[in-house]
Amino acid sequence: MTTLQRIHQLVVMLALPAVLGGCTAASPSDVVPSPTFAPRVAAVQVDPVAQYARDRLSTMSLRQKVLSLLMVHVPGESPSDRIDGDLLEVGGYILMGDNIPSSLGELKADTAALSSEADLPVLVATDQEGGIVRRVPTDDAASASELRSKAPEATFDAFAERGALLQSVGVSVNFGIVADIASDTSSFIYERSFGATGADAGARVAEAVLGESMVLSTLKHFPGHGAAPGDSHSSIPTTSLTFDEWERTHAVPFDSGIAAGAPLVMFGHLAFTAVDAEPATFSTRWHEILRDDLGFDGIAITDDMGMLERSGVAEYSDQVANAVRAIEAGNTMLLYVGAVDTEGIVAAVARAVDDGELDEAVIDDAALRLLELRRELSGQTGRFVRCLTECSALAN
């Protein structure tokens, strides 16, 4: 056999397995190994803010978590000078009229001093609706009573001016957007409402949220003060309005504000008896409606808890019992304008957890939401580092 014939025979033998559909195997020496590739692993995107919050939450005691759910008022100018003990660990402070100094520069310095950690600032809130409800007196932007007769776009401009003012003095949360419908001029909420119908009020509520986007907007007073005659500062306003009726009317401004991106909703101490006999603050059902029906995923904060104690209803006269009930219902944060028994609240919540009355996971969920919001305010994205010695969290 010639050399050319031997080469031809070898080529045929090597090609034979392919021709026969792989029925004849080539010898190991004839097989060329295929290149091997590492399996492709999809990159997992980690939200640095959420990661920071989860890591920090894992280091917190129950006491620290409960305190982080409280927003309190410290009386007088330069309130940071009087903050000690448990008040150092609360999640936020509300500024009232007595906290406002004579100049905006002083106010900015006061608010800056309230946060002991730059990487996890506290929430600094105030009621700045404009008009008859304003804490910073230099706010001359139009109020709801003026804006209800103007085009909705005028509300954007007014709240853009209002939000810029608050941002300039270090206020991060505005309890300033009244989403209540009010058609009765004798109602105490009428002058603070944007309209007498869901459509009118809703259009202006949405514009207000968009306008003051430089601060955190709050819609109040869910599920709607205008539906329940009376003043929740001294009673529990009550209505028999059905859920279907509410959904067609008083729900609309809240729905509009949520769609516009409002990160906070304030619960009113209001009883819609056809939905739940309990005031909305204590109503699991109303919290479910806010979360599930309206799709709200932000911070649910109570109105001033002291109002419940002053309502004249004996059942609501116990501050620490009220705190447990408010957390159980689903509130993320509890607001206290008056004196607050932090030690009593922490102890009562701990007992409720030990007794199985309150699931600690509910507290964890609320604390985590607030940690995420506060971390976002810092503008930092580094990981949380727990130090072995006395120190604060570090940001990369």
Express each pLDDT in 366-388 by its tens digit. 999 999 999 999 999 999 987 64
What is the C-alpha to C-alpha distance for residues 325 and 335, in angstroms, rounded to an integer? Answer: 14
- Is the model's pLDDT at 108 over the cut of 70? yes
pLDDT in tens, 8-39: 454 444 444 443 344 334 444 444 455 555 56
Give the pLDDT confidence score for residue 33 in this predicted structure: 53
Give the pLDDT confidence score for residue 36 in this predicted structure: 54
pLDDT in tens, 316-361: 999 999 999 999 999 999 999 999 999 999 999 999 999 999 999 9
Whether residue 123 contacts residue 91, with contact meaning beta carbons closer than 8 Å, is answered with: yes
Give the pLDDT confidence score for residue 390 in this predicted structure: 46
The four Cα atoms 94, 98, 101, 104 give a dihedral, to 10 degrees, of 40
* 292 half-sphere exposure, CB direction, 13 A CA radius: 7
Strands 264-267 and 216-222: parallel
Give the pLDDT confidence score for residue 346 in this predicted structure: 98
What DSSP state is assigned to residue 28? G
What is the C-alpha to C-alpha distance for residues 375 and 381, in angstroms, rounded to an integer? Answer: 8
- Is the model's pLDDT at 1 over the cut of 80? no
**What are the residues facing 265 on neighbouring strands?**
219, 300
Give the pLDDT confidence score for residue 25 in this predicted structure: 42
- Is the model's pLDDT at 52 over the cut of 60? yes
- Is the model's pLDDT at 103 over the cut of 80? yes
What is the C-alpha to C-alpha distance for residues 396 and 388, in angstroms, rounded to an integer? Answer: 18
- Mean pLDDT of all residues in 129-141: 97
Give the pLDDT confidence score for residue 39 in this predicted structure: 60
- Mean pLDDT of all residues in 106-112: 98
pLDDT in tens, 152-186: 999 999 999 999 999 999 999 999 999 999 998 98
pLDDT in tens, 241-282: 999 999 999 999 999 999 999 999 999 999 999 999 999 999
Give the pLDDT confidence score for residue 27 in this predicted structure: 44
Residue identified by tokens 């130090």 is 387
Q: What sign results for the dihedral spanned by CA atoms 107, 113, 115, 121?
A: positive
Cβ neighbours for 42, distance < 8 A, ≥ 6 positions apart: none
Read off the tokens for 193.
């409402």
Nearest to 108 by CA among 151, 40, 166: 166
Please state the pTM of the whole predicted model: 0.87
What DSSP state is assigned to residue 122? P
Whether residue 242 contacts residue 274, with contact meaning beta carbons closer than 8 Å, is answered with: yes
What is the C-alpha to C-alpha distance for residues 240 and 309, in angstroms, rounded to an integer? Answer: 23
Q: Which residue has the higher pLDDT, 240 or 32?
A: 240
